[in-house]
Structure 1
Amino acid sequence: MDNYPISSKSLEKHYQIHGDHLGQQYKDHLSGYNQWEQKGHAQEWMLFPANLGPRLSIDETSLSNGELYTILTNKAAKGQKGILVAMVKGTKSETVIDVLLQIPKKLRNKVEEITLDMAGSMNQIAKRCFGKATKVIDRFHVQKLAYDALQEMCIKHRWDAINEETNAIDNARWEKKEYMPLRFENGDTKKQLLVRSRYLLFKSPNNWSDNQKVRAKILFAQYPDMRQAFGLTHSLRMIFSHTKDKGIALTKLARWYNDVSESGFNAFNTISATIYTHYKEILNFFENRCTNASAESFNAKLKSFRACLRGVKDITFFLFRVAKIYA
């Protein structure tokens, strides 16, 4: 039961056993849970210094009822046993630092690289606990800011379309006419066009289906600013995808920053300011092209495990199972 994240209930139909009884027997007698040395503080923190490696990821995840945990993982484990280095309740840098400083300094100084997002608390943790490691801001967090800015513009246009349709319906009712919305060549109304374009805006044009190509053509014809904003988002993605030299990446990001400034889009001001503030850590990505993908994958596994158990009633025992499987 320690090798796979399964529930005792899932064994009932295969082995004709009572799942709840098996689960209780496993917890009380078979698992070693009652002898677990970290049981007393597991809900607050778990620490596994032996799993430390030269390349780490630090991220946060919601474990149960929206409760956030900061998780430190070892990239070398590739999502398998040994990936979990530390798991600390909350995101306060002081709390996480106090736990990680329990790891001997000699081991912490062997960490060469740590990937993280742009949160100030994560930066503090990395700086204080792994002073000799290169900090790398995850490219996907940078790109997500661009996607969010693009979606913000799309949502604004959607509200305008909703208000326009509402006014047209009221006018038709006032004039005692039947309201007939304008439909484009693919059958979308203006409101539907904006809603259905959401997913194609996250993709490269090379990956658009034929229907999405038609929809994008209509969208960009109706909203030229969306074409320009999509171009900014796509060009940022291409910088991260195809640039391998750190110096060239610096030049391209500087040009991209200028393009954003010239566009005048308020929605993109946040990301341009963020890139300006964190450009050194962002550029470190182009040295080894490390991302937080392993941390995101581990977070997904935790959520899948939680879903398999249909929720978490005993958080400490759940964390024990997580430790047995991944630490």
Structure 2
Amino acid sequence: MDETSFSNGELYTILTNKAGKGRKGTIVAMIAGTKADTIIAILEKIPIKARSQVTEITLDMAANMGLVAKKCFPNATQVTDRFHVQKLALDALQEIRIKYRWQAIDQENEAIEKAKKGTKKFEPKVLSNGDTLKLLLARSCYLLYKNKSKWSENQIERATLLFELYPDIKKSI
């Protein structure tokens, strides 16, 4: 069960039968709107005997979908869809990367201020791949979204440095 938007921002809730594998009968219902009451009213037209046979329902993390699943499919186990689980994990990983990037920016700004007060010119530390720490953390954004097998040579080098400097990011992947 998921919602989708077609033209003009109109939202629809679509209920499919995974066992249908895209053939006839795969779409069980297509309901205009995403309000729980509306969806429940329509799905309750399906006999309870048929709805009680549903053992698993995949949905996103929207509260209204959880309510619909609970009311209409009493015997079904609710499973959060893979897309939303992956998105949560990637968002958390990016949050960690961004936190480290702000720390690197703060450290660099402090070093620049210190250099201004002294006689030395500020020279940022350059890593073996030519990036500064700040650049490494900025440029590693997209590699964290990609499968390791699809990393370019630069991304492999960048990931190696990133994981050496921040082992907790590597643990999160």
TM-score bracket, normalised by the shorter chain, equals 0.7 to 0.9
Q: Tell me how far apart the structure 2 counterparts of residues 179 and 87 of structure 1 sit (CA, whole Å).
A: 62
Could you tell me which runs of 5 or more consecutive residues in structure 1 were left unpaired when the two chains were aligned. 1-57, 235-327
More helix by share: 1
1:157 aligns with 2:84: no
What's the secondary structure of 1:163's corresponding residue? Answer: helix
Residue 140 of structure 2: aligned partner: 197
Alignment partner of 1:228 is 2:168: yes
164-173 or 195-204: bigger deviation: 164-173
Q: Which has the higher contact order (CA 8 A, sep 6+)?
A: 1
Find the partner of 2:160 among 206, 212, 217: 217
For the residue of structure 1 that corresponds to 2:78, the secondary structure is: strand
- Cα distance in 2 between the residues matched to 1:90 and 1:177: 64
Q: The residue matched to 1:185 in structure 2 has which SS?
A: coil
1:99 partnered with 2:42: yes
TM superposition shift of 1:152: 0.8
The one-letter amino acid of 2:126's match is: R
User: Considering only aligned residues, what root-mean-square deviation do their CA atoms show, in Å?
Assistant: 3.2
Q: Which whole-Å CA distance do the structure 2 matches of 1:80 and 1:197 have between them?
A: 41
2:111 and 2:82 map into 1 onto residues whose CA distance is 44
Q: How far apart, CA to CA, are the structure 2 residues paired with 1:83 and 1:176?
A: 73
* Structure 2 residue matching 1:115: 3-state secondary structure: strand
Question: How do 1:31-110 and structure 2 match up within 5 A?
Answer: 58-64=1-7, 68-79=11-22, 82-110=25-53
Q: Following the alignment from structure 1 to structure 2, what is the Cα–Cα distance between the partners of residues 72 and 198?
A: 35
Check whether the contact 2:115–2:122 (CA below 8 A) recurs between aligned residues: yes
The amino acid of 1:94's aligned partner reads: D
Query: Which residues in structure 2 correspond to 1:277-292 (within 5 Å)?
Result: none
The alignment of Structure 1 onto Structure 2 pairs a total of residues equal to: 173
User: Counterpart of 1:86 in 2: which secondary structure?
Assistant: strand
Sequence identity percentage: 57
Q: Is the Cα contact below 8 Å between 2:163 and 2:169 reproduced in 1?
A: no
Q: Does 1:137 align with 2:77?
A: no
Change (3 A) 1:170 1:120: same
Equivalent residues of 1:150, 1:230 under 8 A apart = no
Runs of 4+ in 1 over 6 A off after TM superposition: 173-178
AA in 2 matched with 1:126: A
1:205 CA displacement: 4.5
CA distance in 2, matches of 1:182, 1:81: 62
For residues 220-299 of structure 1, the aligned pairs below 5 Å read: 220-223=163-166, 227-231=167-171, 233-234=172-173
8 Å contact from structure 1 (residues 158, 195) kept in 2: yes
Distance change in 2, residues 1:125/1:192 (3 Å):
same
Counterpart of 2:103, as a letter, is D
Runs (5+) with no aligned partner, structure 2 = none
Higher mean C-alpha displacement, 170-179 vs 145-154: 170-179
Q: Is the 8 A contact 1:201 1:230 kept in 2?
A: no
Measure how far apart 1:144 and its partner are. 2.9
CA gap of 1:229–1:222, structure 2 versus 1, over 3 A, is closer
Q: Deviations over 1:47-94 (max 9, x none)?
A: xxxxxxxxxxx1223435655432212224434664433233443322
